[in-house]
Amino acid sequence: MKGVVCILVLSISSVCRANSLSDIQIEKWHESQSSLLSAEKEASGEKLLMRVELSVARNTGVIWVVDRTVIGTNEKEFNTSSQKLKTSILYIIEVSTEVESLKLISFSQENVDTWYHLDLKADDSKRYFNIGTCHSLIANINSTAAAASFRCSSELDSRNSWYQEMALITKSSRNEGTNWVNISDNNFTPDINVSLERDKTAKGTVNFSKRFLMIQNSFLFLDSFLTIDLNSIVKTIQYRNTRDISLIKKDGEFVVERVPHSLKPVDGEITTIQCETFGRNPPPIRVERNGMAILDADDVFILSINTNLRTSSSVTFLHNTKEMEGNYTCVLGDEGKDMVPLYVFELKPRVPRDLMQKSILQNEKTNCGRRIKGQDYSLFNSRN
């Protein structure tokens, strides 16, 4: 079926002892499922052509994210394609010069992802890379501490531009999905102490108070990130590993994420609507409109991702039309008995470019110099 991708993937991992973290029991080191070989940028008028060559392990999913829009890698109507080379795959996409953010992401069933952030303002050129892959490890040291580590085939150098971050994922107290909090700066709460080490291996350790663990004992997950700055057509590579470090693991415990939909769908433009769950073995999910399945078509891209920690369903419409209006819901499980409201889709008329620019200039005059105390205020850009 064209336009529909449903991925259940398996990753490659090796088992060994973390010698540099002697207190950790034998755990799995999980290998990143892709590595960067080359990247090329070519501008032509108001279009940008980007080519990224990756070495990709079998059964690994790869997607494009254009601003906040999710697109498959072989969607002709969405201007994406791929070419299988001898030992690699070349991913190609054409985007407008108005696009602000472009990422190519590989992901696996083991919740190990690699994000390639592209620089749309880089000079036209082609660059070759010899970075290899990275292995990641997250493990409980004891009942009150966990450790996260990265080691790469090209050894990390503490003098180079790379950094490790860690974040905690807990259940929202207001039953609105999960809370995701970066704890790398060690100022999150007195109940958490974080230490990070830079060497040939990136190492992070987090210690919890017993009070904190009593509150979060059955729903506590650790996100570990390694970001390597390339300052090239590919600005950064980000390796991500997510693990369940809860003391008490209740199988089937999950939450439905409240994905922010600050959508203002405009006639003829592109839109992605998605729903996600997170937890332990969450059920498969799908997006429906007015209680009906969304049909496959050349100008519709449907993506389903299912792992033991998260499930995701997204629908991307290439051209917004009146027939796409309606109530969108997230349907849980194969039987579809449980539904969560997502979004009421109401199409907005397209505003001619000259009128839009006039409106922006008028707003700029009205708000010139205004700053809201306590907020990072920006008239033209929103914080992700």
pLDDT tens digits for range 247-300: 899 999 999 987 665 567 788 888 889 999 999 999 999 999 999 999 888 899
Give start and end residues of each alpha helix (H) in 43-93. none
Question: In the predicted model, what is the mean pLDDT of the chain?
Answer: 82
- At 117-137, the pLDDT tens digits run 999 999 999 999 988 899 999
Residue 15's pLDDT is what?
32
Q: What is the tens place of the pLDDT at every residue in 42-62?
A: 999 999 999 999 999 998 999
pLDDT at 39 over 60: yes
pLDDT at 176: 76
Q: Contacts for 1-5 with beta carbons within 8 Å, 24 or more apart?
A: 1/296, 2/296, 2/298, 3/72, 3/75, 3/296, 3/297, 3/298, 3/299, 3/300, 3/301, 3/302, 4/296, 4/301, 4/302, 5/61, 5/72, 5/301, 5/302, 5/303, 5/304
- 254 touches 280 (CB < 8 A): yes
199-248 confidence digits (pLDDT tens): 999 999 999 999 999 988 899 999 999 999 999 999 999 999 999 999 89
Q: Per-residue pLDDT averaged across 89-113, rounded? A: 95
pLDDT for position 188: 67
Q: Is pLDDT at 375 greater than 70 in this prediction?
A: no
CA-derived radius of gyration, the chain? 22
Chain mean position to CA 275 = 13
73-82, 225-234, 370-379: segment of lowest average pLDDT? 370-379
- What is the value of pTM for the model shown? 0.83
Q: Which of 132, 37, 10 is nearest to 91 (CA)?
A: 37
The pLDDT-based confidence of 357 (bands split at 50, 70, 90) is: very low
